[in-house]
């Protein structure tokens, strides 16, 4: 087959005008197009548009080349190529309208995944325009679509969770942002993100973990490689702050208040953070005592470990009980707490050492009990 004259003219022009490191792509495009090797051509275009230096060519590649043979390609890839072009538009509004047009084009029974992806990406542009209502409606529609699919391409999940996360960030819904941002990271290779994107995502996740009134276990974040993005940056203190909260370390928290005050969002919520660190200290106090036989703890001991007045301990414990962080009861007359269960924790090195010490103590008690039994009832051990 001869190359279409319009397509051929475009490819030959780009061969001449493109930088040397990109020019060979247009020669290969022409060869594969002429031989109708659509799958390999799709893969090569995907490689090309993901090269940062190829950004100025993305709109032209889509309009002048891809659209000519789009009926032969995977429609999810088509939407991704269109998205790469839309991100080069000067106008966010124009990009949103462009992706809405693409969504209509792929709205066919056999390409509903691509339709959902195009809708999600158009919603993301709408979100950038602060159109929260439209974004919410699209997310609800796409959630129903995705749940109905027998199988889902990971790129669809990634798009869904990214738009959800950014929507909840705009709404300052910290718990929902945290959940969806972590689900997004499970769908992608974080090494494919730019350094700036990794730092921003880790920073946003840290803020969300600290300010959410439903998150009291930071294990998912502290154990995720994304947190390493903050090391060596101006936000490295956030890692220390998360570790302080995770360990219920009030002293460490207080030593970081200077950095905390430099972050307006955290500074505005300092009273909430003061309560949260004391709840974390309470959980840590209860956790350290599990397995030691000390299930009943006086208010005075909790007061010392949480640095709160004794007359405020009952309210603190009631808060922990209502949040499901611990299970147990309060003896108001005896001024003591009985703990039956503590929320599972992410353990740092010091906490793991503490757990190891408790296991050693437990082993010692087992051996001691066995020895006592062998002495009092030797016939059982004969």
* Res 1: pLDDT: 42
DSSP bridge pairs for 326: 342
Length of the chain, in residues: 382
Using an 8 Å Cβ cutoff, are 334 and 268 in contact?
no
Is the torsion defined by CA of 212, 208, 269, 237 positive or negative?
A: positive
Q: How many CB atoms are located within 10 Å of the residue 198 CB?
A: 20
Any idea which of 82-96, 179-193, 338-352 has the lowest mean pLDDT? 338-352
Q: Are 148 and 108 contacting, i.e. CB atoms less than 8 angstroms apart? A: no
Using an 8 Å Cβ cutoff, are 92 and 125 in contact? yes
Q: Give the whole-angstrom CA distance, residue 241 versus residue 38.
A: 52
Q: Are strands 296-298 and 336-342 parallel, antiparallel or unpaired?
A: antiparallel
Torsion angle (degrees, nearest 10) of CA 209, 212, 216, 221: -20
Pairwise CA distance, residues 226 & 204, whole Å = 11
The answer to whether residue 73 scores a pLDDT higher than 90 is yes
Which of 136, 67, 64, 135 shows the shortest CA–CA distance to 106?
A: 67
DSSP states along 188-201: S-GGGS-HHHHHHH
Confidence of residue 307 (pLDDT cuts 50, 70, 90): very high
Residue 41 has pLDDT above 60, yes or no: yes
Please state which of the ranges 184-198, 270-284, 362-376 shows the lowest mean pLDDT: 362-376
- Please give the residue that has the higher pLDDT: either 365 or 63: 63
Please, what sign has the CA dihedral across residues 70, 72, 74, 77? negative
Average pLDDT along the chain: 91
DSSP assignment, residue 332? T
Q: What value does the mean pLDDT take over residues 17-26?
A: 94
Ranking 32-46, 86-100, 273-287 by mean pLDDT, the lowest is 273-287
The model's pLDDT over 154-176, given as tens digits with 9 standing for 90+, comes to 999 999 999 999 999 999 999 99
Read off the pLDDT of residues 201-246 as tens digits, 9 standing for 90 and up.
999 999 999 999 999 988 889 989 999 999 999 999 999 999 999 8
> 310, 299 in Cβ contact below 8 A?
yes
Of the pLDDT bands very low, low, confident and very high (cuts 50, 70, 90), residue 182 is very high
294 pLDDT band, cuts 50/70/90, is: low
Q: Rg of the chain's alpha carbons, rounded to an integer?
A: 29
Cα separation, 332 vs 310, in Å, equals 12
Name which of 342, 341, 348 is nearest 218 in CA terms. Answer: 348
Residue-by-residue DSSP string for 258-322: HHHHTSHHHHHTHHHHHHHHHHHHHHHHHHHHTTTT--EEEHHHHHHHHT--GGGHHHHHHHHHH
Which of these, 151, 155, 73, 149, lies nearest to 121 by C-alpha position? 155
Q: By the 8 A CB rule, do 175 and 215 touch?
A: yes
């Amino acid at each position: 087959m001869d190359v279409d004259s319009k397509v051929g003219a475009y490819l030959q022009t780009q061969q001449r005008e493109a930088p040397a490191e990109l020019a060979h792509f247009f020669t290969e495009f022409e060869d594969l197009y002429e031989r109708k090797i659509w799958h390999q051509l799709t893969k090569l275009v995907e490689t090309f548009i993901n090269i940062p230096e190829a950004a100025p060519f993305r709109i032209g590649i889509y309009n002048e080349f891809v659209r000519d043979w789009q009926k032969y390609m995977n429609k999810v890839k088509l939407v991704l190529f269109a998205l790469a072009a839309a991100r080069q538009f000067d106008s966010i509004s124009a990009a949103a309208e462009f992706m809405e047009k693409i969504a209509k084009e792929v709205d066919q029974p056999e390409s509903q995944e691509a339709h959902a992806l195009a809708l999600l990406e158009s919603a993301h542009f709408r979100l950038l325009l602060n159109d929260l209502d439209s974004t919410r409606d699209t997310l609800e529609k796409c959630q129903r679509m995705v749940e109905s699919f027998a199988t889902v391409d990971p790129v669809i999940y990634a798009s869904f969770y990214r738009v959800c996360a950014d929507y909840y960030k705009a709404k300052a819904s910290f718990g929902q942002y945290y959940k969806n941002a972590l689900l997004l990271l499970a769908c992608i290779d974080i090494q494919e993100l730019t350094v700036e994107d990794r730092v921003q995502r880790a920073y946003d996740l840290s803020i969300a973990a600290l300010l959410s009134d439903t998150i009291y276990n930071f294990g998912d974040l502290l154990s995720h490689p994304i947190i390493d993005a903050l090391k060596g940056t101006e936000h490295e203190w956030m890692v220390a702050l998360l570790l302080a909260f995770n360990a219920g370390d009030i002293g460490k928290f207080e030593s970081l208040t200077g950095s905390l005050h430099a972050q307006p969002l955290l500074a505005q919520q300092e009273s909430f953070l003061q309560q949260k660190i004391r709840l974390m200290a309470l959980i840590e106090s209860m956790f350290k005592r599990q397995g030691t036989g000390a299930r009943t703890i006086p208010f005075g001991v909790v007061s010392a470990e949480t640095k709160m007045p004794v007359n405020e301990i009952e309210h603190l414990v009631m808060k922990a009980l209502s949040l499901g962080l611990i299970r147990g009861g309060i003896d108001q007359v005896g001024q003591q707490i009985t703990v039956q269960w503590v929320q599972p924790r992410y353990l740092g090195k010091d906490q793991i050492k503490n757990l190891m010490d408790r296991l050693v103590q437990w082993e010692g008690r087992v051996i001691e009990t066995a020895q006592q039994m062998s002495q009092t009832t030797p016939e059982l051990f004969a």
